[in-house]
Amino acid sequence: MNEIKCAVAMNQIGYPINGQKTAVFNEKSSGFHIEEEGTKRIVYRGKTSQPAFDRSSGSEVRKGGFSELAKPGTYVLVDDEGNRSTPFALEERPYGELHNGLLKAFYYLRCGETLDEKYAGEWGHKSCHTKLGVVHGEEGVYLDGNGGWHDAGDYGKYVVAGAKAVADLLLAYEMYPKAFVNSIPLPESDQVMPDVLHECKVELDFLFKMQDKRSGGVYHKLTTRHFPGLSIMPEDDLDELVFSPISAAATASYAAIMAFASRIYRTYDLSYADQCLRSAEYAWEWILKHPEAGGFKNPADITTGEYGDGCLFDEKYWAAAELYHTTNQEKYHSAFREYSTESFPKCELGWADVGGYGTISYLRKGKTEENQTLYDSLQEELISEAERLLSICENDGYGISLEEKDYMWGSNMVLMNRAMLLLIAMEWSPKPEYVKAAAQHLHYLLGQNTLHLSYVTGFGTHSVMKPHHRPSVGDDVDAPVPGMVAGGPNRNLNDEIMERTLQGKPAAASYIDHEDSYAGNEITIYWNSPALFVVSYFNQK
């Protein structure tokens, strides 16, 4: 990746007129002004803070605020050393196109259907992976696994990953429905059900096919036995599809997301909502019958993404919470209480650590006289975690909640998960500081970082151009498929090109925009999904 010659780090998309507006400087500048793009008329002057050393970026930074500037327009910030920022907008809702782009990315990741020019533009492709898949270990047993989303830069489809992504999207819609009033559009757009629910239904319909109709258990994933080459387009990936064995993690995550979906879709399609709930309860029966089931391991002949998990209490906790929330049945409440006594993170929102989804569902159901003690305890834990994140933000040069150790594989998921949690905490502790901190996380994602790079393809003056994403590599289009969040800096340098080129770099600079960097520059559905949640908050009408 070429170094971007810019000394002013800013959100390259822009800032809400009434929101907090900051820039981060890495030069000796003590002041700055803001001018209108085009006319160069100066509309604001400000001072920067004293320099402070930022450990994660390994540099001294200064901050400058300009929240008082509230006139809509497009501007450029110029520091007193003459360094110019990228242009940025001030609008009431500057993230409308970004919001559509982050959601549209899921359409581009659809499997099993032709993406035609009307909706996909120049990034379309033919239908793919439409053949039946064989059930691993059951010779001669073939099932339909058509549909859903490709998980990431590869073409695998993984239940635990899909459940996390759909949960983020459904939560975004449930909490911020006014962010979804505009159509993207999608082939299914009907001006009745919001497009986000049409898109989630694509994945849910696929997940139905992952449930073993004989037992209620859920196959862990549907992939080929090995990853195809990086330039292979979806329709050219013709190796045999394999349903990997049933796992407890997949089955519990499936039960959770189907129970959640049942509540959301009940307004629009009663029959579909009932189908979701029946399948969730069937999966729960499998969980009860297989208490000894452990984490998933790849069969010896399969080398695609494993999505292994050493702790399954959090998946079961989440499933019990969603089933209780949906049905109000005491058997699920009792199970939730039982799992809540186990030791696992109760506020995490990852694909492996899903306890936060259980906690959020339980709290959003509401406090009763019966559950007051547990409710208060979980609420206190959620707010305590938000406060912990806030304290990290206050000591970070870019105002985000990542410490050096958090710049790992998928650091941008950690970033957006934490911004998501800060916004969710507002429901029980409405502190403006949480919103300001969440906004800083979004600013970072969109360019206010030490690399001055927007980590969302197609959005920002300097954005990711070479994601580890097979269609973006294999098509004949120079620009990558837009709206996709890259994994971000990874201090562990877990791929060959990172290890070769980034030795000695600070944590927040341990990133290269290169298609071979699967540990830093891959895209996934569950990196996009928390980003969409956060942008939804700021895109409400």
Residue 185 within any structural domain of the chain: yes
Task: Yes or no: say if 298 and 244 are a contact pair by the CB < 8 Å rule.
Answer: yes
- Distances from the Cα of 51 to the Cα of 48, 441, 506, angstroms: 8, 21, 18
pLDDT of 370 reads 85
Residue 171 within any structural domain of the chain: yes
pLDDT of 103 reads 98
Residue 179 within any structural domain of the chain: yes
Per annotation, catalytic residue among 220, 325, 468, 514:
468
Average confidence score pLDDT of the chain: 96
Q: Which residues contact 193 (CB under 8 A, 6 or more apart)?
A: 268, 269
Both tokens of residue 378?
Answer: 């979980």
Interatomic CA distance for residues 420 and 382, integer angstroms: 12
Interatomic CA distance for residues 176 and 165, integer angstroms: 16
Could you give the count of Cα atoms lying within 13 Å of 234 in the half-sphere of its Cβ? 31
Residue 142 within any structural domain of the chain: yes
Residue 92 within any structural domain of the chain: no
CATH at residue 167: 1.50.10.10
Residue 291 within any structural domain of the chain: yes
Which stretch of DSSP H or E encloses residue 52? strand 52-54
Q: Which residues contact 425 (CB under 8 A, 6 or more apart)?
A: 382, 383, 385, 386, 431, 434
Q: 137 pLDDT exceeds 70?
A: yes
Active site (annotated) includes residue 314? no
- pTM score, whole prediction: 0.97
| Choice among 77-86, 384-393, 495-504 with the minimum mean pLDDT | 77-86
Active site (annotated) includes residue 462? no
Per annotation, catalytic residue among 199, 314, 515, 522:
522
Residue 145 within any structural domain of the chain: yes
Beta bridge partners of 486: 523
Q: 341 pLDDT exceeds 80?
A: yes
Q: 396 pLDDT exceeds 80?
A: yes
Active site (annotated) includes residue 522? yes
Both tokens of residue 450?
Answer: 């030490």
Which of 223, 286, 229 lies closest to 254 in space, CA to CA? 286
Interatomic CA distance for residues 92 and 17, integer angstroms: 5
Interatomic CA distance for residues 115 and 194, integer angstroms: 20
Task: Yes or no: say if 468 and 95 are a contact pair by the CB < 8 Å rule.
Answer: no
Spell out a b/e string for 317-332, using b for 16 or more CB atoms within 10 Å of the CB, else e: bbbbbbbbbbbeeeeb
Which of 170, 143, 166, 146 lies closest to 157 in space, CA to CA? 146
Residue 289 within any structural domain of the chain: yes
pLDDT digits (tens, 9 = 90+) for 408-447: 999 999 999 999 999 999 999 999 999 999 999 999 999 9
For residue 2, what pLDDT band results from cuts at 50, 70 and 90? very low
Interatomic CA distance for residues 316 and 344, integer angstroms: 11
Give the mean pLDDT of 280-303.
Answer: 97
The number of folded domains in the chain is 1
- Distances from the Cα of 137 to the Cα of 141, 218, 219, 224, 371, angstroms: 9, 15, 12, 14, 44
pLDDT digits (tens, 9 = 90+) for 14-63: 999 999 899 999 878 899 999 999 999 999 999 999 999 999 999 999 99
pLDDT of 7 reads 79
The boundaries of the domain holding residue 153 are 128-307
